[in-house]
């Protein structure tokens, strides 16, 4: 080995050593790729666009807290019944004890259950609102979800407030059996009294809205709004195909399919939802004055 080759080799070894010592760590999740069009975007840009892809309008899953920040006037949210929390009335166990699963979900999400309820302002118009959160056991409807929504509706009826419920759910919570199914009738009864008082109720269906939630309060709105390309269904696609022995259209159980067939009234992007709700509330307020 020549003197020149030896110097070059030593220099390369020294450079590699320095690179390892001064290695720059890149934070995870700094860049996000769209699940639909594969567009790569900076995570802050996505958050500023309400977690909607700016290229193809794909709606990323979002939390109930994000929705509160997106929809309502700043610092206007006042939580109701936030202390209610599910127990394990049936002593249910599958791969994991239900009470243990509940504890893990509370730690992971910071929520007491799968819905947040409260009152807030949209451009200074007071509304009562329930926001389901799919992160908590798939947004499943158990006794506490039913109780919180029922109390919210009764509050809205008593104080004569318009009501908004954002749905995101896999349906009734199997770990509570018949107790969860009873919530369908309980919530629907409260909605009937709210309607008889001449008050308006908007439902906003996000992806997914399925099962017992779809079969009850999600489809009882005076105006039913859905996000684009949301999965909205009662039973699963495969179950229906096996039952009727026919293939279903590719866009079956999407917002667009349901809109075309008259099951929902509007499809509104998350980026425009606040403004759309404000216009609808103005129309309602003017019609009641």
Q: Which domain holds residue 192?
A: 61-288
Which of 40, 60, 80 terminates a domain? The answer is: 60
Residues 129 and 264 in one domain: yes
Residues 133 and 46 in one domain: no
Residues 191 and 49 in one domain: no
Q: How far apart are CA 194 and CA 163, in angstroms?
A: 9
pLDDT of residue 287: 78
Residues 95 and 129 in one domain: yes
Q: How many domains does the chain have?
A: 2
Residue 7 lies in a domain: no
Residues 132 and 233 in one domain: yes
Residues 56 and 72 in one domain: no
CATH number at residue 139: 3.90.226.10
Residue 93 DSSP symbol = B
Residues 51 and 149 in one domain: no
pLDDT of residue 23: 52
Among 170, 287, 158, residue whose Cα is nearest residue 223:
287
Among 230, 236, 235, 234, residue whose Cα is nearest residue 257:
230
* Contact yes or no for 201/191 (Cβ under 8 A): yes
User: Other C-beta atoms within 10 Å of 277: how many?
Assistant: 24
Q: How far apart are CA 185 and CA 202, in angstroms?
A: 18
Q: How far apart are CA 265 and CA 225, in angstroms?
A: 6
pLDDT of residue 27: 61
Which of 60, 81, 108 terminates a domain? The answer is: 60
pLDDT, mean of each 10-residue run, the chain (289 residues): 53 53 60 93 93 96 96 97 93 93 96 98 97 97 98 98 98 95 97 97 98 97 97 93 93 96 97 97 85
Residue 1 lies in a domain: no
Residue 279 lies in a domain: yes
Residues 45 and 110 in one domain: no
Residue 236 lies in a domain: yes
The annotation places the binding site at 34, 37, 53, 56
Residues 118 and 187 in one domain: yes
pLDDT of residue 285: 83
CA 247 to chain centre: 29
Residue 63 DSSP symbol = -
* Contact yes or no for 57/269 (Cβ under 8 A): yes
Among 143, 142, 83, residue whose Cα is nearest residue 118:
83
Residues 112 and 246 in one domain: yes
Residues 129 and 250 in one domain: yes
The shares of helix, strand and coil residues in the chain, as percent rounded to the nearest 5, are 45, 20, 35
State how far the alpha carbon of 21 is from the alpha carbons of 8, 12, 18, 93, in Å.
20, 14, 5, 50
Which of 60, 78, 109 terminates a domain? The answer is: 60
The token pair that represents 137 in the structure block: 């056991």
Residue 174 lies in a domain: yes
**What is the number of alpha carbons within 13 Å of residue 24 lying toward its C-beta?**
1
Residues 107 and 53 in one domain: no
The annotation places the binding site for Zn(2+) at 34, 37, 53, 56
pLDDT of residue 19: 47
């Amino acid at each position: 080995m020549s003197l020149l080759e030896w110097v070059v080799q030593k220099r390369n070894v020294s450079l590699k050593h320095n690179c390892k010592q001064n290695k720059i760590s890149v934070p995870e999740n700094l860049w996000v790729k769209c699940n639909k069009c594969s567009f790569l975007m900076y995570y802050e840009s996505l958050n500023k666009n309400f977690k909607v892809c700016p290229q193809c309008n794909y709606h990323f899953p979002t939390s109930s807290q994000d929705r509160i920040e997106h929809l309502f006037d700043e610092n206007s949210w006042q939580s109701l019944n936030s202390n209610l929390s599910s127990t394990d009335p049936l002593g249910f166990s599958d791969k994991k004890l239900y009470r243990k699963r509940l504890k893990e979900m509370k730690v992971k999400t910071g929520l007491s259950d799968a819905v947040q309820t409260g009152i807030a302002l949209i451009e200074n118009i007071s509304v009562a609102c329930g926001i389901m959160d799919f992160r908590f056991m798939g947004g499943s409807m158990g006794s506490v979800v039913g109780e919180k929504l029922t109390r919210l509706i009764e509050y809205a009826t008593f104080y004569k407030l318009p009501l908004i419920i954002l749905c995101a759910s896999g349906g009734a919570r199997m770990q509570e059996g018949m107790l969860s199914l009873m919530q369908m009738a309980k919530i629907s009864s409260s909605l009937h009294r709210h309607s008889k008082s001449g008050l308006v109720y908007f439902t906003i269906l996000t992806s997914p809205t399925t099962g017992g939630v779809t079969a009850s309060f999600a489809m009882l709105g005076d105006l039913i709004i859905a996000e684009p390309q949301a999965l909205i269904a009662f039973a699963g696609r495969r179950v229906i195909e096996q039952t009727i022995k026919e293939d279903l259209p590719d866009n079956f159980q999407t917002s667009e399919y349901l809109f075309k067939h008259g099951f929902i009234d509007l499809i509104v992007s998350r980026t425009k939802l606040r403004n759309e709700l404000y216009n609808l509330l103005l129309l309602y307020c003017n019609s009641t004055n």
